[in-house]
Chains A and B, each alone.
Chain A
Amino acid sequence: MKPALFSHLVPTTVQEALEMMGDHAAEARVLAGGQSLVPMMNFRLARPSVLVDLNRIPDLSYIDDRGDYLAVGAMTRERAIENSALVRDACPLVYDATLNIAHLPIRSRGTIGGSISNADPAAEYPATMLALDAVMIAKSGRGERSIPAAEFFEGVLSTTLNSDEILTEIRVPKAPADSGAAFVEICRRHGDFALAGVGAQVTMDGDSVAAVQLAACGVGPGPVRLTEAEAVLRDNSLTNEILSQAEQAASAQVDPDGDAHASAAYRRKLAGVMTKRAVQQAAGRAGGGV
């Protein structure tokens, strides 16, 4: 369990990193927090011959208020997001999702950009970004482009980033007033990747759901925007009947695989239960409670 030989490049500016990626695109990988890539390299399942290490680029770590949205630098540690009052107030679903990520030592190394670029189907951030219609900023020597979350995630560990591109910034729309958010998941052990997890942001208009954004993790090849459940909930009161319909809609929409930890059928069921619970919790918080 030792990695194959590789070159370790340590840029200190984004520009330098982009040049390195341009030079080595085919054989290079970006090293962010290393929480997934390094184990894969130790198993020799990933064997990049060049690692472009972004950890010495201070310009990639920030959380900025840009009016309608928060801009989060790709190398911002999950722990920094967890500790950010700005994130908690402006993007509470991101905050709540962060609390569900692994354990403190992992959050202290892991980065938001690394998690999103790695696109593990069970990870919290991809589902969160999908639910919130976040926008990914990708840079390369060829320029910069904005990729909506809905167009970013392609499948298991796969994104629409090109091989010479680096995800540099994530733009997360601020939560509307009168909204509440909750990320709910179920894991076999505390801190594990979820068997099923759902992020919900719900805006209430009196007793009625004015807006709802839902996405699930762990129940498909990538994050799943739960459009069917959203449609059930929108403009309706959260009665037991409606919640039950949303639960069933979510279960019906996802298409999980079974593995050693849970059968496909169980994961499908959990997607529904987590949807119901996330919506209930988010709606409760929309009422002013946290």
Chain B
Amino acid sequence: MNDDVRKQTGGYIGQSVPRREDRNLLLGQGEFVADIQLPNMVHAAFARSPLPHATIGDVDTEAARAVDGVCFVASGADVCAELPPINGMQVVTPQGWRDRVDTDILIPDQPLVPEDKVRYVGEAFALAVADSRYIAEDALELIEAELIPLPPLAEAETALATGAVLIHEHLGRNVAAFLHTKKGDGAAAMDACPNRLSRRFVHHRYAAMPMETRGVVAEYDGRTDTLTVWSSTQIVHWVRREISTALDMPEERIRCIAPDVGGGFGGKGHVYPEDILVAWLAKKLDRPVKWVEDRHEHILNAAHSRDNIYDVEIGFDDDGRILAVTSSFLVDSGAYTPVGAGIAGNSIAHMLGPYDIPHYETDCKIVLTNRTPNAPYRGAGRPEVGFAMERAVDLVANHLDLDPAKVRFRNMIPADAMPYEVGLTYRDGVPMVYDSGDYPEALNRALDALGGLDDIRARQKTALAEGKYLGLGIGCYVEGTGVGPFEGASVKIDSTGKIMVAAGACPQGQGHETVFAQFAADMWQVPIEDVFVTVADTGQVTQGYGTIASRSTVTASGAIKIASDTVQEKAFAIAANMLEAGETDLEMRDSGIGVKGVPDMHVTWRDIARAAKPGWDNQRPDGVEAGLESTSYYEPPTVTWAYAANVALVWIDPETGQIDIEKYVEVHDAGLLVNPSLADGQVKGGLVQGLGGGLLEELAYDDQGQLLTGSLADYLLPTASDVPPIEVVHMETPSPLNAFGVKGLGEGGAIAPPVVIANAVCDALRPFKAELNSTPVRWGDVANFFDGATA
């Protein structure tokens, strides 16, 4: 903790306040969507395509309807007759970005249940509703659907091939977006570079895989014409918006709540067909309807992520100074692209990372294929581009026989260059400026945590002499966090004097209630117990955005501050009236407002709240409206830039290729840490997910578009026993862009591990000039290097 910052803020901010969420969770009193039981509730299930690409012929639901206990069955045609598709552009990019980045975007809408064709294994083509999920699944087996196979577009390059079948015929192409941008002279600068290397880097497909799958419960009240929808989502306000559009109901008549949510990581960060369908069914059937995604459905149908191919060229001088980078990359978007160009936009913006590189040019194709739709997952475009860039930096070092750490130091933006104009545009449309930080210091500290570079190299040399293989992996990144467009918050003083805070943020386990209470308690100078926080409920905040993209600490704190300032301005006016003092003589203290220097002259928030009430005998001065509440919106000027240096030491078993991580270190800077304990947990959780992606987790498809890893027996999540020793070191360079100096940190941990592992393994195998330029890093591939050496 930065003591100076703590002194400035005082109070709770900066302290590891215990999570107020944990009481319920530890007592088994949490409530997740699956826990919700309503009288007369029925259960929905979806028939999902076994084929990646097929025309839908006749769908006969008659036998399914006849099953005892079934109350409704619908084909895609039945659904499409009543409901429009989800607008493909759930996330709109601002004009400023489209102006500064060349774009050609054609995002397909997504039918809630398609009637014409299915486009990935797992896409629903019919649904059934019954008294139990068991019966609903029995009914699904009786639906006779004619699925006429079409050639599968099993991967991006197949979809781009001349003559490839079109997945969305009306688009006329299999590319959802072409993007292009450049800095300096771009590719033209490459000719002047003394050394150039070109490589292809592949970041495979894996996914968020939260412990709680998705799920929706909806209840319609015909008397009041209101819908209540509980969804395991990160974005309740988007869900409300899309249901409102699809059902043509006012948003105000729809309340969307995310109850306790067991992880999201981006996978629950957009609206899915089931969010709308379950609401529709509840209204149509006039019965509460529940659908809880099972794990197999989740793996097939919830958004996947990553799955990029990068062709990179890097130009550098003989000292390892990087002069130019070009990249041409493909994002395999799957059948739809619910978050549009968000992932690719991030990749474009993050390629240069912490380095001062004068020339850069990149182009991207977001390719539509017969895979499950691709949407952001923790890191969202940064792990992918980071893998390409940080592997390339190591290759530069290898080429020149320099230490990869030293090449990084040579290229890093020094602390005295902050704020640093990057020369690119962020996807919020604002020119990128790294706001604060000390990138070389982060790498120095990381190496020190492993014993220092000299010690590491000495150990490596000794090991090699004994026939043992030890490698150092490095991965550095910067991360735009706290992105707009806005977040909403409502603050009011209850007549008991308690501070009621509601925010549009929509947590999935991060601890927002705790962190927002810390902010509000300091803003209002009250004990934290006097702050009541509500999140993830559209009934509490008119407009909200949600918890995605490492944004809520930054954006919600801003909204809570604006709302609090607005209410406090009024509270001061009323207190001045009550105390018969000038406002400038007043100060906030002791859960209220008092006259400076006069201990007895004090009114509490309770007193002020009562004085502010509408009606007879109020104590408001003339011209001050009744009530002490405000709903406010924070629109951040642009993103804050978190960053980190990751390093790891790994051992390789030369007989099996097995990789054992001796220690993994991340030195992370997310500005002021509001709650260091929660921040630490966020970074560590991200690291474990990143290690899972780098080594274990894989959504593998065969060349016919069939998913091969459809259960958790085959999709390997890291478990507690697979986590190596991890050390996280926090630096705290405040951001100058907001009142508290905070930056976002939810995603950071997941960004670097895949490339750190790849770099570490290649470092250990330097005697074989090994290159591992794709993920996941497979033991079998590692073992092959040794076989080659002995052959």
Contact = CB atoms under 8 A, between A and B. Distances in A.
Interface of A: 1-5, 39, 43-44, 186, 188-193, 259-263, 265-266, 269-270, 273
B43 to A, nearest CB: 10
A187 to B, nearest CB: 10
Contacts of B134: 2-3, 5
Interface string B103-128: 00000000000000000000000000
B228 to A, nearest CB: 26
Contacts of B698: 260
B295 A1 contact: yes
A260 B137 contact: no
Q: Which 4 A-B pairs have the closest CB atoms?
A: A266-B780, A1-B294, A190-B721, A260-B700
B656 A186 contact: yes
A78 B657 CA distance: 31
Given A1-B296, A2-B134, A188-B779, 9 more contacts: A1-B294, A1-B295, A2-B133, A2-B137, A4-B138, A192-B716, A260-B714, A263-B780, A269-B787
Contacts of B783: 266, 269
B221 interface: no
Contact of A260 (B295, B297, B658, B708): B708
Nearest to A4: B138
Contacts of B657: 266
A189 B133 contact: no
A189 B716 CA distance: 8
A188 B296 CA distance: 21
Given A260-B708, A266-B783, A188 B716 contact: yes
B296 A186 contact: no
B145 interface: no
B780 A260 contact: no
A261 B716 CA distance: 9
Contact of A191 (B296, B656, B696, B721): B721
Contacts, number: 58
Given A260-B714, A266-B783, A273-B656, A5 B138 contact: yes
Interface residues of B, number: 30
Interface in B2-24: none
A248 B655 CA distance: 13
Interface string B767-784: 000000000000110010
Interface string B712-724: 0110101101100
B708 A270 contact: no
B328 interface: no
Interface string B647-660: 00000000111100
A218 B144 CA distance: 38
A261 B714 contact: yes
A40 B626 CA distance: 64
A270 B719 CA distance: 23
Nearest to A259: B708
A188 B721 CA distance: 12
Contacts of A192: 716
Contacts of B700: 260
Contacts of A263: 780
Q: Count chain B CB atoms within 10 A of each CB in A43, A189, A263, A265 and give the residue with the most.
A: A189
Given A1-B294, A2-B137, A273-B656, A188 B696 contact: yes
Given A1-B297, A2-B137, A43-B296, A189 B718 contact: yes
A270 B656 contact: yes
Contacts of B93: none
A188 B656 CA distance: 11
A269 B138 CA distance: 45
Contacts of A1: 137, 294-297
Contacts of A5: 134, 138
B352 to A, nearest CB: 34
Contacts of A273: 655-656
